Structures are given as structure tokens and as C-alpha cells.
Chain A
Amino acid sequence: MSFINYKKREIILKIVYYGPGLSGKTTNIKFIYSKTNPDARGKLVNLETQQERTLFFDFLPLSLAGLPGFETRLHLYSVPGQLFYSASRKLIMKNADGVVFVADSQRARKDANITSMEDLEENLEHYGVSKDEIPFVIQYNKRDLDSKMPVEELREDLNPGGKYPDFKAQAIHPEGPGVFDTLKALVKQIIKELKASQK
């Protein structure tokens, strides 16, 4: 749910990166941070443990240039993949405008992906929405690893029928293929949906 401040004439959209532990949510956000114009981005808040697991959340504010009237800002959050951080997850999921599901392409993470997707559905249900009602995209990350599953198999597990836009990515690669494609697809969906909801 967007946050509109008439006084400051700004609208804030909350985007959540969801997925199993160590699937690359933080890496996605760090890559976006590194490739964004410093004037258009805020400070990256990165709360992670020594094992590179997000402890609480990652948070990155970004400005979207050029929308008339109101300034539009994106707040990117990543949700800790570990199942026990439910208090912070609830905060982050609450009023999300759109969700990116970052799946781990490695075969060993097949079950973790499916469990995380089910967990996401439950979390959204808690707030009375389903995946079909909010902008939603899926990213198959870690395509550079030899142990990766074919995209068809991931799709069968996580996106049967190809209902949601999905992207292959290598967030850890210096060029981060797929990372901005994923974000762009989601932002477009969110703005189109917001525009439609005003009619």
C-alpha cells in the first residue's frame, strides 16, 4: 500500500524482496545500490550477520525521476530468509506494494524455494491479499552455478503456467544480469496498477 504525503508531495512505494535464506536478496539490493546514481539513492541499511544472512532487513530508498506532480520514491526491503524472524517479516510485508521472489536455482535448494513460496502466500494471506492481487515477479538467481536446475523445472515448482513475469539472474556477477530487469518489471506493474486504481 503506497504512502502518500500531501504536504511533502511525495508518494512512497514499498518493494519487498522475498525468498529462501541465502538466495541472493541482499546481493540484489547491494547491486542496485552500486549501480544507482548517488543523488537518487539514500543510504543502504544492511543488517546482516557474519554469515551474510540478513538479520533483520536490508533497506534502500531510491528516487524515481520524472513523474509529474508528486515525487515518487521506492523503498526496497529484503526479508530475512530464515523462518524464525517473524516479527520483522510481518513489519516488512505489511502494506507492500509489490514483491520480488528471489529463488535459488541450485538443485539442493529446490525444497527451500517451495517452502519459502508457501510461506510468502501465508504471509500475504495474513494481510488479506494473494499473489494474484499485488504486483509480483519471480527471479531465478544463481544461474552461473553448475548445480543449477533448468528454468523449466523452477517454473514448474514456483510459477506453474508462467502466470507471473520471471527472470533469470546472476546478482553476484559484476554486471548483475537480470537484476534491473526484475526491478523494472515490478516497478512498471506497480505504477500501472496504482494508475488503474485511481480511475
Chain B
Amino acid sequence: MLSGQVIYEEEHDRLEDICDRLVEDALAKAIFIVDKDGQLITGTGETEGIDTTSLASLVAGSTAATGGIADMLGEERFPVHFHEGEETNIHVSVIRDSMILVVIFDERSSLGLVRLRVKRAYKEMEDVMDSLDEKRESDDNEGPDLFGDISDDDIDDLVNDTFG
């Protein structure tokens, strides 16, 4: 049986607040929170021109590969990885093995500042994750009514219409 990974409105808003504050405190260009499976949860800052869906997927991929490197070297994990570019840098941290915090920054900020501010945001993010876990547990098997009363024929039509 399929059961979904769920983000509720309240937790989404709290994560959004954390991002909004962090983007200012860290003087960052943009901030994203990504699910470890590669789904974008939220993002803020100068996100225009960034293909956020693909970015989320690639960051999760790169985090998985970094985990593979850690494993080869006998480390349990590398919770933080950092890529330095000519103009843009990206700081990626894995929080409690389930969410990834991505900070994109340029010459307006520095790695030290980003590190410091990100560490402060951890605790807040962990609180949100606790609240999410609680909700998910109490909400088990009570998923949203996503599909209403649509019949199997409707589903066939829908898929045929979309893909011709």
C-alpha cells in the first residue's frame, strides 16, 4: 500500500519563516529546504532563474553520492558539504537524516557566517521536524481526499488526455 510523505501547512509556514530569517541573517542569495528524496519543500531569496525542481533533485543526488563517499572512507556520514564556485557557492547540510538545508551565497557573505547562522537554524528546524513526526503518526492512514469520487474510467481518461 502506498502512503505519502506529507508536509502540512503549519510546518511548511514555519520552515518558510526559518528560511526567510536565515536568508537575511546569513546574507545569502537563496535558501532551499529539500526532502532527502529530492522534493523541494520551500525556498526563498533570489530564486528567479533557478530551476528549483531540478536543483532539489540534484542536491539530493549529490547528498546521496557524498554519503557513498563517507561510507567508503568509514565515516557514518558527511552531514555538511560545500561547493565553491567563481561567483556562487553552495552550502548543503543534512538535518536529522531527512531534510537538506541548502544555502546559496556569493561575495556578499562568507562561509564562516553561513556556517554560524545555519547552525543556529538547526534547532528550529528540528523542532519543526518533531512536530511533523507527531502529526504524521497521529494522522496515519488518514490521508487527504486527493481524488474525490473519480472513477477508474476517469483516471483512464485523464491519463489518455494528458499523454495523447
B41 touches A5 (CB 8 A): yes
Q: Are A2 and B57 in contact (CB under 8 A)?
A: no
CB-contacts of A173-199 with B (<8 A): 180, 183-184, 187-188, 190-195, 197-198
A188/B5 contact (C-beta < 8 A), A14-B37, A183-B163, A197-B143 known: no
Contact indicator B162/A40 (Cβ below 8 Å)? yes
Check A64 against B162 for contact (C-beta < 8 Å): yes
Could you tell me the distance in whole angstroms from the C-beta of B86 to the nearest C-beta in chain A?
22
> CA of A6 to CA of B111 in the docked complex: distance in angstroms?
34
A12 to B143, CA, bound (A): 14
- Asked whether B37 lies within 8 Å of A3 as measured between CB atoms, the reply is yes
Closest residue of chain B to A65, judged by CB? B162
| Chain A contact surface mostly | mixed
For chain B, give the interface size range.
Answer: 35 or more
Known: A4-B143, A197-B143. Is A75-B9 also a contact (CB below 8 A)? no
Contacts of B51 in A (CB 8 A): 42-43
Complex formed: what's the CA distance from A88 to B87 in Å?
A: 28
Binds A, one of B24-32, B61-69, B102-110: B61-69
Q: Which residues of A contact B112 (CB under 8 A)?
A: none
- Given the known interface contacts A192-B155, A193-B2, the answer about A6 and B61 at a Cβ–Cβ threshold of 8 Å is no
Q: How far is the CB of A93 from chain B (nearest CB, A)?
A: 10
Query: Which residues of the other chain, B, contact A75 by a CB distance below 8 angstroms?
Result: 38-39, 53, 57
- Are A86 and B54 CB-contacts (below 8 A) given A91-B60, A197-B3? no
A66 touches B161 (CB 8 A): yes
| Nearest CB on B from A13, distance (A) | 9
B71–chain A nearest beta-carbon distance, Å: 8
- Measured in the bound complex, the distance between the Cα atoms of B61 and A94 in whole Å is 12
> Can you sample 23 A-B contacts with CB below 8 Å?
A1-B5, A3-B7, A4-B4, A5-B7, A5-B39, A6-B7, A7-B42, A42-B53, A45-B57, A59-B58, A65-B162, A67-B147, A68-B147, A69-B145, A69-B148, A87-B67, A91-B64, A134-B2, A184-B163, A188-B159, A198-B145, A198-B146, A198-B147
